[in-house]
């Protein structure tokens, strides 16, 4: 690991280790997810001025009215998505700065991540290239449309709140697959969608707060 990845002081591996222990105390039990969170240097995905807060359990601004989700939410969503099993092909809606995509890349064979804001797409691409995350493929596109040419996906994760599940994403979820996303307008609830041979099943998990999903590209 190079010096920038290793970090110093409040961005050091010791600080990252404290984040992992905090995640355990918050109820995250999937050791595969915890190991992935421990291996990805979150501080390289935030502005240098905010790097000392990179491992705090807070969301941080990344520009363009977007945020990097707090570590607990990233770990929780990926834990629910994995459900103790292996992930083959995952679709992420809302690349943002690329942090969650990098963590997903540690636990899934292939990750396809979509971002509608070109500036964030470029920023994430640089960070992921630095980490040599070769199994993470980024695209600048309307996330509500997904990546139909790459589906079906056994996991879909959405980092923005919707009032309903986009139909295109339901269609791209494989039978036996799981989708995790925040649903709601004023009051958002982290929601699990499971698809089986008979259709879709929805489970509401816990209250969350995300930026709203927007259509189109910017």
Which of 69, 88, 113, 139 is labelled catalytic?
A: 69
Q: Which of 72, 116, 79 is nearest to 96 (CA)?
A: 116
Residue 108 CA, distance from chain mean position:
12
Rounded CA separation 216/132 (Å): 29
Annotated catalytic, 88? no
Residues that are catalytic: 69
């Amino acid at each position: 690991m190079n010096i920038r990845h290793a970090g110093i002081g409040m961005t050091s591996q010791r600080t990252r280790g404290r984040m992992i222990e905090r995640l355990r105390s918050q109820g995250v039990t999937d050791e595969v997810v915890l190991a992935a969170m421990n291996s990805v240097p979150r501080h390289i995905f935030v502005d240098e001025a905010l790097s000392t807060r990179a491992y705090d359990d807070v969301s941080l601004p990344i520009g363009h009215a977007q945020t990097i989700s707090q570590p607990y939410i990233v770990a929780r969503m990926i834990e629910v998505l994995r459900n103790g099993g292996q992930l083959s092909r995952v679709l992420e809606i809302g690349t943002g700065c690329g942090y969650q995509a990098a963590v997903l890349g540690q636990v899934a064979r292939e990750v396809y991540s979509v971002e509608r804001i070109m500036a964030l797409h470029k920023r994430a691409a640089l960070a992921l290239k630095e980490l040599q995350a070769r199994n993470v493929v980024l695209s600048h596109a309307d996330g509500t449309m997904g990546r139909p040419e790459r589906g079906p996906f056994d996991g879909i994760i959405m980092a923005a709140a919707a009032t309903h599940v986009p139909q295109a994403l339901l269609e791209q979820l494989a039978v036996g697959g799981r989708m995790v996303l925040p649903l709601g307008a004023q009051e958002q609830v982290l929601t699990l969608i499971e698809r089986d041979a008979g259709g879709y099943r929805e489970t509401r998990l816990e209250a969350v707060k995300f930026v709203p999903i927007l259509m189109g590209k910017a």
